[in-house]
Amino acid sequence: MAVSQAEGALKGATLGHLLANISGLAPERVLPALAAVLVLALLVFVFKDKRFRANGLQVFAGAAIGAVIVGGWYVSGHLGFGENPETLEQVYFATNTRTLESLSFVAPLAYTLELLMLWTDKSLHASFGIAALLGMVTGAAVVALATRSFRWEGFASLADLRRQIVGALLMGFGGVTAMGCTIGQGLTGVSTLAVGSFIALAGIVGGCVATLKYIAWQAERE
């Protein structure tokens, strides 16, 4: 299941709706203005770094990822929307949530494993989230092989293995609890201005900062 618009919001609340309630203005007037302010602020934040501005590949990659998020909403919400020939209802055909979705990699991984284990179940099919997950893995492999940068990696030590296992458990628990990952909430959810997604993103950033400071503290002790 990729993060859906309904799922990404905290009971339907977005920053735009909250500001509209506070200001008394109509949401359709507040939302575009708020989106424009946030976009400009983010552009200033990322382009103030001279090294980033000079790295055309990173700039292109950032723009491409953003375009893919928007494309996900369009594909699942427009191209994947139509009339069910059996029930004559208007439905979203290609999503697990039966509503429009964009990218996420937490629930789609679970749905992919379910499809592989129960592939004879006719009610299961390759959804938008599953296709996106497989496409990401396949695309990464193709680029790595084409650029001859593919390499096998393992654990540096037993201590590294323990850290990776603990990190994986925390990542899995956090992804399920927050209903999305750095992509599902940090990009897809935030693109809807959902309050819940901004809370999740703040938790992700805060956790990263705390972990890096802890690692640096440990290194100083050793």
pLDDT at 215: 85
Residue 27: what pLDDT? 82
**For the chain, which ranges sit under pLDDT 50?**
1-2, 4-11
Q: With 0-12 CB in 10 A as exposed, 13-18 as middle and 19+ as buried, what is 41?
A: exposed
Residues 163-195: pLDDT tens digits?
A: 889 989 988 898 888 888 899 999 999 999 999
Mean model confidence pLDDT for the chain: 87
- What 3 state SS string does 104-130 have? CCCHHHHHHHHHHHCCCCCCCCCCHHH
Q: Hey, what are 144's tokens? A: 């790595």
Both structure tokens of 109: 């991984």
Which pLDDT score, from 0 to 100, does residue 155 have? Answer: 87
pLDDT at site 87: 82
- List the structure tokens of 203: 């938790």
3-state secondary structure of 95: coil
Tokens read off for 42: 């983010």
- In this predicted model, what pLDDT tens digit does every residue of 89-113 receive, in sequence order? 888 888 988 888 999 988 899 999 9
Predicted local distance difference test score (pLDDT) of residue 122: 84
pLDDT of residue 4: 47
The pLDDT score that the predictor gives to residue 23 is 84
The Cα–Cα gap between 74 and 6 comes to 15
Cα–Cα distance measured from residue 183 to residue 191, given in angstroms and rounded to the nearest whole number: 11
pLDDT score for 163: 86
Cα of 136 vs its chain's centroid, Å:
12
